Structure 1
Amino acid sequence: MSSIAQASSPTLSTALNWWNRLLTLLPLGFIAWLALQLSEHPAIAKTGLSALTLAMFAGMFAGNTLPRGWLTPLASGMQVARHHMLRLGVALYGLRLTFDAIVALGLAGVLIPLAMLVSTLLLGTWIGVKLLGLERREALVVSAGSAVCGAAAAIAMASVVKTDNRQTAVAVATVVLFGTVGMVLYPYLFDLAVGHMHMAVSERTFGIFTGATLHEVAQVIASGKMVSDATADAAVVAKMVRVLALGPLLLIMALWTRTSERKQGLDTGAAGWSGLLRSVPWFALGFVAVMAINSAGMVPHAWKPGLIALDNWLLATAMLAIGLQTRLIDLVRTGRAPMILAGMLFVFLIAGGAALCWFAA
């Protein structure tokens, strides 16, 4: 009897843990639903603010005004939303797209994101090490967050090149800061270029620019939707090119790290490879799989509105959780050099991405 009780105890503990997480998700999910409803109100809709942006700002307002103790009970729910729900939401976003959308982007929709990824990573590492005096590993982590896919890339790179917790936290903070600024700024850049400077910038081209240069996947979707659905669709496809490149990039960095440690006489063991496998962006592969299913016409037409509504809710909940965990005081405390590096890369992404899109147009 005791052995049965001991065997069932871990199972019961796991079940209770997930039940607690689901309970703490309820208020987050309700607020995300409210953001979805508000975004459809005519007064809100004409401002261009999407439900994802509203949810993000609501989270940031609450996270920076409410006592931290009030939000502690929601911590497990925020973790589920920020990690699991965000990844599921990104994968389900493939329901909106088909492989024809990739073909419609053309070669530029693939080459521009890859060119920005490589150039940002190389430039950021050089500036961080040569001009700002950062360790190469820390410069790589900060640069990866800007070059690939935000905090997820920074954390994945940190697990491969083995930075400490402080360096990883600083890199993630820079991504949150400049990614949030970019999410709000980009729609105004489109309005400035088209409405005031009368430049011939199509929504498709601006979507490629957004996906090739903005940090987080969720930020790309939210910013693109503030311009148009067509912009958001093009932006997500371009962004997925960068996200899918994370796997090969991590493999290269893992090989570089192992070679460096062998030269120093250190035994790396298998931990590096297990960390690499955990860092593979499976949600990006899920996005491609869902898009393939949609392209094959295997999703019943009657199911799509409900599935897309579910996807919007998942993404809005994730954005709310990200906002709740974004505390401005923590960003101020990050280090000067990493913040300067991230700021310089932010300017480079905007200027370099705009130049490449203009050249390719």
Structure 2
Amino acid sequence: MSPLSTVPNAATTAKSISTPAPLVWWRDRLLSLLPLGLLAALTLVLTRWSALAGTGLSALTLAMGLGMLAGNLLPRRWLAPLAPGAGLARQQLLRLGVALYGLRLTFGAVVALGAAGVVVPLLMLAGTLLAGLWLGTRLLGLGWREALVISAGSAVCGAAAAIAVASVVRTDDRQTAVAVATVVLFGTLGMFLYPSLHELAVQQWQWPVSARLFGIFTGATLHEVAQVIASGQMVGPAVADAAVVAKMVRVLALAPLLLLIALWPQGAKEAAAPGTASAGLGRPVLKCVPWFALGFIAIMALHSAGWVPAEWKPALIVFDDWLLACAMLAIGLHTRLSDLLHAGRRPLVLAGLLFVFLISAGALLCWAVA
């Protein structure tokens, strides 16, 4: 080795001295985030296009799909410069997006739907989580983290819940992508199936199913918010209105669910296990609480109190959609089809079983409260 090779380059040394490390960190990530941000913005535009708006395809779903296409079709050397921005999107932007999701909720809309509009969605949420954990770990042999992420996507609000729970339990990108893919698959199937179920129940079987009751059923059992809106509108405006409010009850439960998962004893046991980085677990309990879950509650409370200016809300919701689309795009970029195939059929089977559970148990609950 030449002696000169050990001498620091003068230009490099001067650059490192003149630019603080934190500024270099943010500069690299923001510059590499720019292409991802532009593509995420494009997904928002495309999903508002009339040809796609009626399909219920959400920007999160489209961003995830585009990211997976790019991650699997483009050479890795082309994607390597995007790595810092993708990391920023998967971490900071994701958490901020989950917190801002509280802008979509108000307490008044929940109260107006009545007790059934609250009880049925919450019972379905709890039942789906418990069923998913039992089926996933006991019957299918999945790890509890992967089973929980898949179950949360089915139980709460689709892809947004899956990636939020994944960020708390720290699943890898492959497990998160598999969970989101299963939620998208069965949620899309349900979006087209539910109007047929309504026609079968009301017109063929002559069951006395009101628009309010079928809306509660739709909002309490279908996966994505966009899918709930699209499916409800296929049946009628009254069904769509009730479905959206019932769905918002499930979305509202996302924050306490994240808090519960973060403070669950299983996490403390693993952190205190010998050989782990957090052995001893002497840190305060509050440090286990994800800040974005507290932000979700706070923003929802501000919105319910009317303290969010009406002229700000549309722009903030679009910004929130963009944040989540960036996160989904970044996760998709790090997802390889070989990894999905290696995951096997068990996650898909679990999501399918939960889909059947949601329809059957949700119909039974709605019949009981009718």
TM bucket normalised to smaller = 0.7 to 0.9
Deviations 1:263-318 (A, max 9, x none): xxxx95116x57x7555343233222112212222222322232233223223333
What secondary structure does 1:301 align onto? coil
Secondary structure of the corresponding residue to residue 302 of structure 1: coil
Letter in 2 for 1:87: R
Q: Kindly report the root-mean-square deviation, in angstroms, between the aligned alpha carbons of the 2 structures.
A: 3.8
Is residue 2:66 matched to residue 1:55?
Answer: no
User: Which consecutive unaligned segments of at least 5 residues does structure 1 have?
Assistant: 160-164, 215-219
Q: Which residue of 1 aligns with 2:10?
A: none
> Within 5 Å, which residues of 2 pair with 1:249-288?
249-254=261-266, 257=269, 268-270=279-281, 280-288=289-297
Q: Which of 145, 148, 153 does residue 141 from structure 1 map onto?
A: 145
Q: Name which of 207, 210, 220 aligns with 2:219.
A: 207
Asked whether 1:329 is paired with 2:329, we answer: no
Does structure 1 residue 178 correspond to structure 2 residue 199? no
Provide the rounded CA distance (Å) in 2 between the counterparts of 1:45 and 1:89: 22
Which sections of structure 2, spanning at least 5 residues, go unmatched? 1-12, 153-160, 203-208, 234-239
Q: CA–CA distance in 2 between the matches of 1:128 and 1:44?
A: 34
2:193 equivalent among 189, 193, 198: 189
Q: In the superposition, relative to structure 1, how do residues 340 and 117 fare at CA in structure 2: closer, same or farther (>3 Å)?
A: same
- The TM-score, its normalising length taken from structure 1, stands at 0.74
- 1:258 offset after TM fit, Å? 7.5
The count of aligned residue pairs is 329
C-alpha distance after superposition, 1:236-267 (max 9, x if no partner): 431331441232344343488379979xxxx9
Q: Which amino acid aligns with 1:172?
A: T
Could you say which residue in structure 2 is the equivalent of 1:239? Answer: 251
TM-score, L = length of structure 2: 0.72
Residue pairs, 1:11-26, within 5 angstroms: 12-26=20-34
Q: Distance in 2 between matches of 1:252 and 1:318?
A: 26
8 Å CA contact 2:272–2:280 kept in 1: the answer is no
Aligned partner letter, 1:49? L
Is the radius of gyration larger for structure 1 or structure 2?
2
SS of corresponding position for 2:176? helix
- CA gap 1:52/1:339 in 2 versus in 1, 3 angstroms: closer
Q: Counterparts of 2:226 and 2:330 in 1: how far apart (Å)?
A: 14
Contact 1:25 1:78 in 2 (8 A): yes
- Cα 1:234–1:326 change in 2 (3 A) is farther
Within a 5 Å distance, the mapping from 1:91-130 to structure 2 comes to 91-128=99-136, 130=138
The structure-2 alpha-carbon separation of the partners of 1:297 and 1:278, relative to structure 1 and needing over 3 Å to count, comes to: same
Is it true that 1:224 corresponds to 2:196 in the alignment?
Answer: no
Question: Which among 72, 81, 87 is matched to residue 79 of structure 1?
Answer: 87
Q: Is the 8 A contact 1:95 1:304 kept in 2?
A: yes
**Aligned equivalents of 1:180, 1:336: Cα separation in 2:** 16
Q: How big is each residue's C-alpha offset from its partner over 1:47-87, in whole Å with a ceiling of 9 and x where there is no partner? A: 44344443333223323322333222222222322332233
Question: Equivalents in 2 of 1:59, 1:349: separation in Å?
Answer: 29
Change (3 A) 1:139 1:10: farther
Q: Look up the SS of the partner of 1:330 in the other structure.
A: helix
